[in-house]
């Protein structure tokens, strides 16, 4: 296949960026999207040009580092997948593909398609953990947890923190990410001790980072590679109100 790529190039966070057009020749339908970008970069390096900067790590849909906006959709057109799981057979010969970074005030561009997602780390540091000293690791069956509750908690724990929810939201809200982390811990007995403090501190930190409010339109759920449901946002809201009343 021969494709036309419109790729966002930006030398640094304080430099204006622009879309630059590249031709991608001899693209195999069996290539992953990132493999295609690797081939384009090899061509740029041979010509003495600066390679396109983009994040990637596991390339197995586990870490979420590969987050890109492909033709206006975070992680591309396939539901429940990350960019590294997107294959070129999804496109046709002669297609034009626009590739951009996450767009959010809280995710400043580092270079080209790489953004700084450390705001998520600071939200987790604010309360997304269990710090109670439990001694040694308890036996797996020591604390009875119902199947329904454990499945809900594990569904929430599937969030990989990629930031697609933020990129899709017109308000750049981090509610789906936060609610997944808060739901995961609030549903389990190990998370009860810090339950109220956790939700208040994480929401406060998200506001300080510049994330917007939730408009309940569901774009976040639609692009989430792990298909985290927005029912978690409702749970987070209840947890927050409960915590504020208690405080």
230 shares a domain with 126? yes
- Whole-number percent of the chain with pLDDT over 90: 89
Specify the pTM: 0.92
Question: What digits encode the pLDDT tens for the residues 155-166?
Answer: 999 999 999 999
* CATH code for the domain in which residue 76 is found: 3.10.20.30
Domain boundary among 54, 89, 110: 110
125 shares a domain with 100? no
Question: What digits encode the pLDDT tens for the residues 191-225?
Answer: 998 999 999 999 999 999 999 999 999 999 999 99
C-alpha span between 163 and 177 (Å, rounded): 7
Question: Which 8-state DSSP code applies to residue 173?
Answer: B
137 shares a domain with 56? no
172 shares a domain with 69? no
Averaged pLDDT score across all residues of the chain:
94
Q: In the prediction, which pLDDT does 245 show?
A: 87
165 shares a domain with 104? no
Lowest model confidence (mean pLDDT) among 118-122, 133-137, 179-183:
133-137
SS3 (DSSP) at 151: helix
Scan for tokens 């936060």, then name that residue. 178
Residues 6+ apart with CB under 8 A from 147: none
By residue range, what is the domain housing residue 235?
A: 118-246
Q: How many domains is the chain partitioned into structurally? A: 2
pLDDT band at 140 (very low <50, low <70, confident <90, very high): low
* Token pair of 33 as six digits: 């999207």
Reply yes or no on whether the pLDDT at 247 is more than 70: no
147 shares a domain with 194? yes
230 shares a domain with 123? yes
SS3 (DSSP) at 100: strand
Question: What digits encode the pLDDT tens for the residues 48-100?
Answer: 999 999 999 999 999 999 999 999 999 999 999 999 999 999 999 999 999 99
235 shares a domain with 124? yes
* CATH code for the domain in which residue 196 is found: 1.10.1060.10
Scan for tokens 């626009």, then name that residue. 98
Domain boundary among 88, 110, 132: 110
C-alpha span between 186 and 191 (Å, rounded): 5
Q: In the prediction, which pLDDT does 139 show?
A: 66
Question: Which 8-state DSSP code applies to residue 85?
Answer: G
């Amino acid at each position: 296949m021969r494709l036309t790529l419109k790729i966002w190039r930006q030398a640094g966070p304080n430099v204006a960026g622009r879309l630059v057009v590249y031709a991608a020749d001899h693209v195999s339908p069996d290539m992953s999207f990132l493999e295609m970008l690797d081939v384009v970069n090899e061509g740029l390096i041979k010509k003495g040009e600066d390679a396109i900067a983009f994040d990637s790590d596991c390339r197995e849909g586990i870490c979420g580092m590969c987050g890109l906006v492909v033709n206006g959709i975070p992680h591309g057109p396939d539901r429940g997948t990350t960019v590294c799981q997107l294959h070129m057979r999804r496109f046709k010969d002669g297609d034009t593909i626009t590739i951009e970074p996450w767009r959010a005030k809280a995710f400043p561009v580092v270079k080209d398609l790489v953004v700084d997602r450390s705001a998520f780390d600071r939200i987790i540091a604010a309360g997304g953990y269990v710090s109670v000293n439990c001694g040694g690791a308890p036996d797996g069956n020591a604390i009875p947890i119902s199947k329904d509750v454990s499945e809900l908690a594990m569904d929430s724990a599937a969030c990989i923190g990629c930031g697609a929810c933020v990129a899709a939201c017109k308000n750049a809200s981090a509610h789906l990410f936060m609610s997944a982390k808060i739901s995961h811990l609030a549903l389990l007995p190990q998370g009860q001790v810090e339950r109220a403090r956790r939700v208040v501190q994480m929401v406060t930190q998200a506001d300080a980072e510049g994330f917007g409010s939730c408009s309940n339109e569901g774009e976040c759920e639609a692009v989430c590679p792990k298909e985290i449901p927005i029912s978690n946002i409702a749970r987070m809201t209840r947890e927050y109100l409960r915590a504020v009343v208690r405080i």
